[in-house]
Structure 1
């Protein structure tokens, strides 16, 4: 009887864990607009793309514009049940007559987008659950992309899971989501891509200054790099959410 109870509790624990696992398929797109076209792109998203995304089960989570935006960039993050659902949703969206007409009208005076980048993503096991911003809440978001040294991504993830995220929180940074990229070439090591939020850009810079001096961080980073540096390249951008973003 006792053994049966233990087995039942273990099974319930495993079921609970599996339900909390986020196995959705994520996509981050970055659009670089032609000169003077960023506002038109944002209007097209607000008035046409976002409503149609809902129709075709494309869940738009965040829509952002960099605080310093010499590249005329626009970032947005989406999620889907899986890759197959993603492909079907975009096929149907692209064929929608309302979208075709909206796209045509918006580009009567020239193309809006000069180039685009796409990252396909999966959630890490240490990522917080997605939560939309509260009504009236305004934050500065920070997107960071880490290229790890060869074969060092597991070590980097362990450092984030066991130390970095907690130290971020202790220094006033809010952990939003953590992902690794899905690479089409299996020989390419995935990147770590994550989002933080701050009260504003000045607060972000102060938090980073304090983080780098934090004794806990110095101890954790030193211990993790006894066999060499973990990170080869860091890309970072501060962004503000649009009025139609769930994260803002």
Structure 2
């Protein structure tokens, strides 16, 4: 369980993040959504590590975040940064292997087994011997996603809920790998391996994959609820300062578009009809 009470962040009297309360105690796919400058990345950094907190408290499983050692916390939560540079000439294989250093008790055979599985599932085989810093932006994102997944893999024992924090992980990815990453993250939740807390910009992908949405604007948490509770056309239009409508395609899929767009193939009513 993660519980944050009255957390905020300010610089020289200017609030980057106004006071926020947050709690999660089950496996769920949580999207932090909102326009640029809303405080999304600040919130996810604070929840994952307490970084930059000006006020309030954060606890994991009832234990204050400040009382956790880095080694202890790293077994239960992993954080994927927006930036993907590494200050050394490590290969992709070495980057992935480093994710297992926090699990010295795991047998070498288990470590190798989970590395091979993640490499296969994320289609990283052709990248293993390449130097990480010479990869494309999208390739780096895929490798970093593999790294945080490997960090949370454990052997045998029953574990509490684990937390996978992803800060705009879709940056630089083409459509195929965006969908593959989100499907894998969704499966991480559905398989009861843990919760995903992800910063995203794409409202349509958010609607497709999220269980819960934290909608932010100008450093404030506006709404916290299910996709249908939060993602109404009126609320999204006001938040993004652009007219949006919710439409249903002929095969029943719901998505959002700018109101001026028109197509004879779509039912324009908000709820089908």
Range of TM-score over shorter length: under 0.3
Larger helix proportion of the pair: 1
Q: Which has the larger radius of gyration?
A: 1
TM-score by length of 1: 0.26
